Structure 1
Amino acid sequence: MPDLAVLLAALAVLLAMARCFGWLFTRAGQPAVLGEITCGLVVGLALQTGPGLPGRVDTTLDALAQLGLILFLFGVGARLAPSMTAARITAAFVPALGATVVPVVLGTVLALWLATRHAPAGVTPFVLFAAAAMAVTAFPVLARILSERRMLDDDRGRCALTAAALTDATAWAALAVVASIHSGTRDWTLVLAVPFLLGLFVLARPWFGRTLDRLSGPTAVVTMVALACAGAATTDAIGLHAAIGAFLAGVAAGRPASRHDPAALITPAASLLVPLYFVLIGRKVDLGGLDTALMTETLAIIVVAVVAKGGGAYLGARLAGQPPRPAAVFATLMNTRGVTELVFLGIGLSLGVIDSAFYTAMVAMALVTTAMTGPLLNHLERDKVTRDA
């Protein structure tokens, strides 16, 4: 069978399966991404026992998945931008500090213990990456949860979104450092980042929003896709990961006020391809490597992740003056890892700073913490109703 026919058939099957699995998990009250990862596990097991896909088809599928990742992260950056105002940052700074510092500190301690088994590129990049990964909050999943629960416009929702923006910005900055250290990027190539950052600053000026207003819908969509790809290509050429450039371009494009919402423009294209990325993430989970030691490490990672993120966020919220129950809601929301964590881990694996066993353990942590969010919020809401009654 020609490679094109195999590619199109594989796309049809994978996208349909991802949508079906996502729908089933959504019906069960869980985020669709959990279903997409499960779909990837099923596909991975099927391909391991079967003939597999031709090499060129597999490479093309990976390229399409990477495009989906680039568009998705551009949209995440565009959604983050409105939360990064001075007033919101001031109000959310202390809660965000707790939700960032405590996971980083405890993540560093845990990573030093795990580095003897899971640091293929050396201890320093592994520890930096693992500590940053512990601090991640899934901004897109968080925004969706807040929207579904009508919390986007109240103080709790705004504080959680801004705190997530601050923690994720810190984590992505740390990832850029890790990518630079691991790739051995030379100082002179990093100089190329200067015109890129200046270009982003120019892009964030108000005139860009007015220019965008004059574009038709289809032209605005093409413009956003071009910006996402240009940002990704720039950082990839510099020696950093392409995803970092897409994310930064999204932040810049999301700053100016415009009748066109960059995140909304990019979402349909990203929604088509990003499930493919999460399916391929699931394929990379190596369940065959599970042994007693890895299972113990996975349990330790989950416990530290929940205690560090939830405890740090709760402590930060209480220090900022929030009452116990709103602080508990904030901690529950910040503990959501979701798609951002999975993307973060996929980049770490592709960079070679973590091995497949640590990747598998961290994916399990991301799925568990994401699955916890809905039931915990329901419990807190029921508890509030009981107390009010």
Structure 2
Amino acid sequence: MSDIAVLLAALAVLLSLARLSGSAVARLGQPAVIGEIACGLLIGIALSTGPDLPVQTGVTLDAIAQLGLTLFLFCVGARLAPSITDRCVKSAVVPALGAAVVPFILGALLALWLARRHAPAGTTAFVLFAAAAMSVTAFPVLARILAERGMLDDDGGQRALSAAALTDAAAWTMLAFVAASPLGETRAWSLVMIVPILAGLLAVARPRFGHWVASLSRPAATTLMVALACAGAAATDAIGLHSALGAFLAGAAIGRSAPKVDPAALVAPLGSLLVPLYFVLVGRKIDLGEFDLVLVLETVAVVVVAVAGKCGGGYLGARFAGQPPHSAAVFAALMNTRGVTELVFLSIGLGLGVIDSAFYTAMVAMALVTTAMTGPLLNLLRQPNEVH
């Protein structure tokens, strides 16, 4: 069988299995990504006991999955940017601080304890990355949960979305810093080369550019969005930062300039087709053979700290902002959603060499547990007169 035939067959099987497993889990009321990662885990076990894919096929599949990730993060940035308005920021800044600072501090303390076993690039980079990863809230999954529950238009839903946007923006900023400082040595040339990239993003973020995009036909606008996503990803990758950062920033820029065009809607169909492949490959990176007693205890500690930091910090922040106890509890449950954003974050850290595969496995388990908790927590907090 030729290489192209093997690639096409593998692509057909993996995309089909990813979609089927995601749909099966979604029927149980959980995010599809949980099923996609479980699918990848099973595929990894199957390939480890049988013939593996040819090297070239694996490389090409990774490249296609990276394109799906690029388009996905472009959509995240495009949807996140319009949510950061002055009004929403003012109402969400205090709750967001609680949902970001408390898990960041607790995550840093936990990382100091774990660094002796899981910090291949040094303690400083590991602690900063782990603390930032603890602060992440999955903006796309949160938006979907709010839409399914009819909470997108009420004050609580808008506040939660704005707080998630602020916490994720801070976490991605920290990730950019860690990516530019491998092994604790800041690469000044990377920070210098980011200047022309930011200048280009500012040009894209101007309303005049958005008006021009609105005048294009849908196929032309879609092509332009995909090109911008890939260009942003290539630019940050070329200067030594991760390509995901460039895709995210490009989406945020175009989301600010062309809110009426909805650039995410143009790119989302292609991204939603390819991104499940990325999460299947994420599942393949999980090595169950590393789960000894020590790693199990560390995973439990990671989950406990993650839930305590997000739920506790989110609740305290909401209460300080004047929200009643029930609204604060709902806000805290929503902030605990990590989902796909956390998984992308962790994959970048593993690729950068900031964390090892064992810590990656523990954090993926945490992301799945905290995401799966959101639905049951919201059902538990649902008031008797609330319709779902």
Same fold (TM over 0.5): yes
After TM superposition, give the deviation of residue 262 of structure 1 in Å.
0.6
Measured in 1, the distance between the counterparts of 2:332 and 2:360 equals 25
Moved more, 131-140 or 199-208: 199-208
> 3-state SS of the aligned residue for 2:181?
helix
After TM superposition, give the deviation of residue 213 of structure 1 in Å.
1.1
Measured in 1, the distance between the counterparts of 2:248 and 2:131 equals 20
> 3-state SS of the aligned residue for 2:355?
coil
Give the corresponding residue for 2:8: 8
> 3-state SS of the aligned residue for 2:244?
helix
CA RMSD, Structure 1 to Structure 2 (Å): 1.3
CA contact (8 A) 2:213 2:258 kept: no
Measured in 2, the distance between the counterparts of 1:324 and 1:387 equals 17
Once the two structures are superposed, residues 26-85 of structure 1 have per-residue CA deviations (whole angstroms, 9 ceiling, x without a partner) of 111101011101100011001101110000000000011111111100000001011111
After TM superposition, give the deviation of residue 232 of structure 1 in Å.
0.5
CA contact (8 A) 1:69 1:274 kept: yes
Give the corresponding residue for 2:217: 216
After TM superposition, give the deviation of residue 258 of structure 1 in Å.
4.8
After TM superposition, give the deviation of residue 185 of structure 1 in Å.
5.7
Give the corresponding residue for 2:194: 193
> 3-state SS of the aligned residue for 1:254?
helix
Measured in 1, the distance between the counterparts of 2:385 and 2:155 equals 22
Q: How does 1:185-264 map to 2 (within 5 A)?
A: 186-264=187-265
Measured in 1, the distance between the counterparts of 2:225 and 2:329 equals 38
Give the corresponding residue for 1:266: 267
Give the corresponding residue for 1:385: 384
Question: TM-score, structure 1 length as denominator?
Answer: 0.98
Moved more, 186-195 or 245-254: 186-195
Give the corresponding residue for 1:357: 358
Give the corresponding residue for 2:373: 372
CA contact (8 A) 1:212 1:258 kept: no
Measured in 2, the distance between the counterparts of 1:345 and 1:192 equals 25
Measured in 1, the distance between the counterparts of 2:166 and 2:292 equals 37
After TM superposition, give the deviation of residue 256 of structure 1 in Å.
2.0
1:39 aligns with 2:35: no
Amino acid of the structure 1 residue aligned with 2:322: G
Measured in 2, the distance between the counterparts of 1:188 and 1:6 equals 41
Q: How does 1:66-105 map to 2 (within 5 A)?
A: 66-105=66-105
CA contact (8 A) 2:82 2:259 kept: no
Q: Percent identity?
A: 69
Unaligned runs of 5+ in 1: none
Measured in 2, the distance between the counterparts of 1:80 and 1:387 equals 28
CA contact (8 A) 1:185 1:239 kept: no
> 3-state SS of the aligned residue for 1:353?
coil
Give the corresponding residue for 1:19: 19
CA contact (8 A) 2:106 2:309 kept: yes
Q: How does 1:169-180 map to 2 (within 5 A)?
A: 169-180=169-180
After TM superposition, give the deviation of residue 202 of structure 1 in Å.
1.3
With over 3 angstroms needed to count, the CA separation of the structure-2 counterparts of 1:329 and 1:112, relative to structure 1, is same
Give the corresponding residue for 2:325: 324
Measured in 1, the distance between the counterparts of 2:190 and 2:201 equals 18
Q: How does 1:296-315 map to 2 (within 5 A)?
A: 296-315=297-316
After TM superposition, give the deviation of residue 304 of structure 1 in Å.
0.3
Once the two structures are superposed, residues 144-170 of structure 1 have per-residue CA deviations (whole angstroms, 9 ceiling, x without a partner) of 000000100000110000000000000
With over 3 angstroms needed to count, the CA separation of the structure-2 counterparts of 1:312 and 1:294, relative to structure 1, is same
Give the corresponding residue for 1:166: 166
With over 3 angstroms needed to count, the CA separation of the structure-2 counterparts of 1:279 and 1:387, relative to structure 1, is closer
Measured in 1, the distance between the counterparts of 2:108 and 2:18 equals 35
Measured in 2, the distance between the counterparts of 1:185 and 1:69 equals 26
Give the corresponding residue for 2:116: 116
After TM superposition, give the deviation of residue 242 of structure 1 in Å.
0.5
Measured in 1, the distance between the counterparts of 2:14 and 2:250 equals 29
Amino acid of the structure 2 residue aligned with 1:385: P
Measured in 2, the distance between the counterparts of 1:258 and 1:105 equals 35
Unaligned runs of 5+ in 2: none
CA contact (8 A) 1:94 1:320 kept: yes
> Paired residues, what number?
386
Measured in 1, the distance between the counterparts of 2:188 and 2:176 equals 14
Give the corresponding residue for 2:128: 128
> 3-state SS of the aligned residue for 1:239?
coil
After TM superposition, give the deviation of residue 387 of structure 1 in Å.
11
> 3-state SS of the aligned residue for 2:327?
helix
Measured in 1, the distance between the counterparts of 2:126 and 2:248 equals 22
Give the corresponding residue for 1:149: 149
> 3-state SS of the aligned residue for 1:192?
helix
Measured in 1, the distance between the counterparts of 2:212 and 2:288 equals 50
CA contact (8 A) 2:70 2:243 kept: yes
Give the corresponding residue for 1:281: 282
CA contact (8 A) 2:336 2:370 kept: yes
Once the two structures are superposed, residues 203-232 of structure 1 have per-residue CA deviations (whole angstroms, 9 ceiling, x without a partner) of 111111110111111111110000000001
Measured in 2, the distance between the counterparts of 1:186 and 1:137 equals 29
Give the corresponding residue for 1:348: 349
Measured in 2, the distance between the counterparts of 1:311 and 1:188 equals 40
